[in-house]
Structure 1
Amino acid sequence: MASSPEALSFDGFAISAPILQAIKQVGYETPTQIQARAIPHLLAGCDLMGQAQTGTGKTAAFAIPILNRLALTRKEPQALVLVPTRELAIQVAEAFQTYARYLEDFRVLPIYGGQSMGNQLRQLKRGVHVIVGTPGRIMDHLRRKSLLLDKLTTVVLDEADEMLKMGFIEDVEWILGQMPAKRQTALFSATMPSSVRHIASRHLHSPHDIKIKGKTASLPAINQRYCLVSDFHKLDALTRMLEVEEYDATIIFVRTKIATEELAKKLSARGYAAAALNGDMAQAQREKVVGQLKKNTLDIIVATDVAARGLDVKRISHVVNYDIPYDTGTYIHRIGRTGRAGRTGTATLFVAPRERRMLSAIKKVTGQPLYEMPLPSHQKIIDRRIEQFKQQVMGTLEREDLAEFRHLVQQWVEQENLSPLDVAAALTYSMQRERPLVKPPLAESANHDKALQRPVKKKAKKMSALKTTRRSETKNKKFHKKTIKKQKDFRHSYFNNSHHLSTP
């Protein structure tokens, strides 16, 4: 059964005011297709089977109804979200926190292998409302009785096809068997192989079946690229890029209003003409900022998605996704701020290690090349500064009458017995003190360049090793089960035969 209740805004759903406030602060104005069709059914308590690509807003589609139906006074697990990887567990838990920022005492706990069991046990004892976890660690807690699901009202299987590929389907079946029979169950998957549909037929009751077809976005002439960088090094990566790039005006997207103010201040302190643009600003102030951008008195705007809706400034040549968007539709909207009126534009996406799944989704929806961008080296930055300073000096020599200044410098040289070269060097140093033209020792600059990428590489290796370990554990688990069965069969056969032989 398929239904399509299309909502024009989140106000059209029966969602509590605190959740609506958080949704609007994130920058969501209209629900995506999967949200528009899934949220009403989930709010009504129905089971649901949803097929949609990663990056279409599936997390909000199930997280918002779960939050809306929670009894916050009960500090016990009321909803469980099963995911295939710990990276996804962290992302989903963060999304719950974002949508619940105005819900008092709300608690969500991500549970996954590789994390301290002791910390998880402490958090469970304090009481949580929503659990987001990987099958293996959830099973560990259920066997230890440290996680009780007797009060559970909702379970969500997210990325069910991925759990199938990673060999977790048997574990998922076992976990579902430990839950109350009377519950709401939702299953989301990018594809629907027969094994996933088999689980749905066994554990979902008269589910609403929703399928969202993926679309390839039509984009103007925008050069799209991404940069793998950890959260800690984003500011350094951004300033390096701004140092080297030729840009007219830039809009930098972040997720929160506070982040717009903080990043704009940091950029201003580094000598950039930057200002914040967010929903908390009065309309007159927002118009003033946009006006300054149009008049070339401002070069960089740090904005939230909601503040940049409808922003159309021709001179915006670069868009930077400082914080990766929650869904692919928002990405398309963001980069559409450049490449206007037939001009070309450049869109840069900063990707932290745990955000690689969203990067893959963005690549699919754009249908256009998305190139990895290496960060500019320290030497490249120095070369760029020297070139800019040289152009500034040459321009001054060509445009200005410097006769009086030559006379002044000549006086200093004669009176103080100085070299003209020393005077020029001192003036250069004074002018470029904040932007040095001489690089630090080679070892220091090389180590700094490597530091920006090192956390990402380590994380990538760790993720790869973790996946290998999971596959190995799954194989070992199956092998162990078969071995135990063979041993039991052998003992049974041996003792029965022995008994038979000893009988007179």
Structure 2
Amino acid sequence: MNTFQDLGLNNDLLQAITDLGFTKPSEVQQKAIPLLIESEGDLVALAQTGTGKTAAFGFPMLQKIDVNSRTTQGLILSPTRELCLQITNEMKLYGKYCNGLNVVAVYGGSSITDQAREVKRGAQIIVATPGRMKDMISRRLVDISKIEYAVLDEADEMLNMGFKEDITDILSHTPTDKSTWLFSATMPKEVASIAKNFMHQPQEITVGNKNESTSNVSHEYYLVNARDRYQALKRLADANPDIFSVVFCRTKRDTQKVAEQLIEDGYNAGALHGDLSQNQRDLVMNAFRKNQIQMLVATDVAARGIDVDDVTHVINYQLPDEIETYTHRSGRTGRAGKTGVSMVIVSKSEVRKIKSIERIIKKDFVKKDIPNGMEICEVQLMSLANKIHNTEINHEIDKYLTNINEMFEDTTKDELIKKFFSVEFTRFFNYYQKAKNLNVSESTGDRESQRDYKGGKNDSTRYFINVGNKDGFDWMKLKDFLKDQLDLGRDDVFKVETKDSFSFFNTENELREKVLAHFTDFKHDGRFVNVEVSENRGGGRRNDQKRGDRNGFKGRRSGSDSRPRRSNSDFNSKSSDSRKSSRRSESNSGNSNFAQSRPRRSRR
């Protein structure tokens, strides 16, 4: 089946396909479209982001629904507003010749009344985010009791964001005999569970292998000291003058911070995260699509649904918490048949994650060195020469040539070329001529990595803190809590170890006074949180446990003995699923902003 005509689509859809310029169906489309058109059963489709999944379920749904009916017949659930709007727009384009078709987007951050009005006008297909859809069902603003087709798009991401209960509740309001089509990039246990509980003997199609990365993307990693992560990012950008990239950070705070640093240093950058309004998100996405932003710094949730096909690089400034999330990140590049590069900046303590990712995506990473200063100068010089060579002459300059020639009449051709290119070359040369080597050997590692593996060194301080697992903390949540409280970088807090009712962590010695001063008479949610220097500076587990027991902290709360213990859900993370709930809130709040600032050094 090399053409869309071979897939069994009707003339209205084929005409729209011709208008859109589609010529050959992708692999997932070749496998899914005929199957969905010919049968009424359930389907599980595993395919990477950017492989044409929307068309794979969109065309069959459009062909099967009755556009002359005002009844809602199709429901498509997607994890984020951006993806919801993208699917809605694509469905309208696919169905442009289906007279009477009404596709309505239902998502948070916009008027629920307006959306309900659109649905009431007769929406044959609703595309929705789970949170807003559940809200509309509870208010009786939508009726999905007669739908015939339900699509769970990016199912793994919806579950990763904590939407399992919402999806379960939504599907409970749908007919049992509907067809359910589940599309996902990866197949973790949670997705398999959804397929088992809500689908009846589903057929399964797989493009590539399960969880495997697309073959259009190459994978590289760069090993540096954790403290040099930002400098490494700048060098990778400078070594790729035509970069058009998405830079991934773990948290909203880091995303904003990195974007602001890039803008201040003269790069065309912008931030995309959940603390930004829908209007701000629209501004940054429009700028990104127009190539006015070359480096879009984003969180994983905010980046879902970015429908830009020309991304050249994905840069993992920080690796994600969930290894499977890497598949989604790398899927931002290498789309629509193009090739792309996924880069990872790591410290030695994170190298083991690279090996884990390799096993999941079934692709090998290539270890590369961060370019040195002179290599970057050469790349920038040749990039400028290439642009000048390919520039079309604007003959409006002709009238000024006499004066220009007089100015350079005593200058030879070689001297003129050197002067011209020195304008750009000198700027990079002055910046990089004394730049240090950022690369780290895997055999020796960086200081942060050594202390992670060897139990700490004499240049760090070990602390005791009277919160632990019973307060809803694991090591990662506690590390984030300390980092935010102390306004530190992620790698400034290390060797975090949590027990039931207390924990331990390390910082550099020079941060000791800042840590102890901050946590003097410190209260969080009305409760005292105490931090003390641990007697065991290295942080051995056996000595840490003795330290907690000897001081009577096992099962006791320092500074709050007479107070009743707050429930675990009331302190810090609300529940053990706080990371998921925070991701959900990010998807339901406004996203994105890009700052405008006069760059200190011009980039292009």
TM-score, normalization: structure 2? 0.41
Max Rg structure: 1
User: Which structure shows the bigger proportion of residues in helix conformation?
Assistant: 1
TM-score, normalization: structure 1? 0.49
